[in-house]
Amino acid sequence: MSWFARGEVEQLRRDLDHERVARGAIEAEIERLHAGFDAVPVGIVLADERGKQLVRNRAAALGGHVELLVEEAVERLLASAVGGTAAEQRLTLFGPPQRVLLIRGIPLAKGGGLAVIDDLSDRARVDAVRTDFVSNISHELKTPVGALAILAEALADSDDIEVNRHLALKMVEEAHRASGTIDDLLELSRIELGGPGDREDVSLSAVVGEAAARHRLIADTVGVELQVKCISPESVQGDRLQLVSAVSNLIDNAVKYSNKGGIVTVSAHEVNGCVEIEVADTGIGIPARDLDRVFERFYRVDRARSRTTGGTGLGLAIVRHVATNHGGDVTVRSREGEGSTFTLRIPMGEGS
């Protein structure tokens, strides 16, 4: 081989090496771009000037039963963007869980289009909770605040010490009622905003023990025996604060609707991979017509009795939200005059 030929071969080899290096650098850059797209928390779909999808990041791969609905909207909005027209569509997907997506088609300056999929579910949930809170608190505080105004006027017009003492006690009662309503609304809003919460191995006996301790004094005061029986298994996967709140509200409800000499029993056991926490009472029971509605906000079976016990009608709604957050449910069995049994069912979770 001539010197000239050997030089050409060497040059060709160097050119090939440079090409391999350049190709490797391009591939590394493409990988970085893909990694950057995947790190973006909103869905991104990039299309060329013919509408062909070139890039789709991880957040845009929604999967499940919502994929077809979202894909149809993405294709339509990309076509509009490629044609030079920006457009958007808001999708409400009724789950569960419910999701709210905002999909926008954005034209690109040098041709092609971009579809952006923004998940507004958390913001929509926060807005709904805020709206409900303002509406509920304004509605529920009208009664105690109105009563306080009337009692204050009566107190100002009276010179009788005994009458004044009676009016003052009634004012304290209405103030406590307003405070209890606010506390329950804040608790419900916290649980709604918190969603599933922080999952961890929670001691079941500690949850039940803490919830029972909150109500033992009032139970003793009204002559109701509060019993904690067999608690099994040792632990469950869940949010401790939410679980304590749920069991506490079930016990509170049972004590309030039990007569003197009644018994409230709390127990827990495993059934088919779930923990069933039961709170049973020997109280006044629930009419069959009300069983389907007792978990609604502000629903009271016996409004006269609720007025006496100070119930806000929010306790069982809180229990229902905690059950939903944990992928479980809450049910009730009851017979008028014989008592009620509420069952909070929570999946045990992996490793329990």
φ, ψ dihedrals at 111, nearest 5° = 95, 155
Q: What is the pTM of this model?
A: 0.56
pLDDT at 196: 59
Fold of 120-194: Helix Hairpins (1.10.287)
Q: Residue 352 has what pLDDT?
A: 44
- Provide the 3-class DSSP secondary structure of residue 81: helix
Q: Which residues contact 95 (CB under 8 A, 6 or more apart)?
A: none
Q: What's the CATH code, domain 3-91+99-119? A: 3.30.450
Per-residue pLDDT of the chain (352 residues; tens, 9 = 90+): 454 566 666 766 776 667 776 677 777 776 777 677 777 788 888 888 888 888 888 888 776 666 778 888 888 998 999 888 999 999 888 766 678 889 999 999 888 899 999 888 878 777 776 776 666 666 667 777 888 888 888 888 888 888 888 888 888 888 877 777 777 777 777 776 666 566 788 899 999 999 999 889 889 989 999 999 888 888 888 888 889 989 999 999 999 889 899 999 999 999 888 999 999 999 989 888 888 888 877 676 654 444 454 556 678 888 998 998 888 999 999 988 889 999 999 998 654 4
Contact 88/103 with Cβ under 8 angstroms? yes
Bridge partners, 288 (sequence order): none
- Report the distance separating Cα 92 and Cα 65, nearest Å: 13
HEC profile for 281-295?
ECCCCCCHHHCCCCC
State residue 129's pLDDT score: 65
Closest Cα to residue 219, out of 176, 282, 262, 183? 262
DSSP tag of 337? T
- Tell which CATH architecture fits domain 199-352: 2-Layer Sandwich (3.30)
Domain definitions of the chain by residue range? 3-91+99-119, 120-194, 199-352
Distance in angstroms (rounded) separating the CA atoms of residues 310 and 173: 9
**Residue 304 pLDDT:** 44
What is the DSSP annotation of 154-167? HHHH---HHHHHHH
How confident is the model at residue 250, as a pLDDT?
Answer: 94
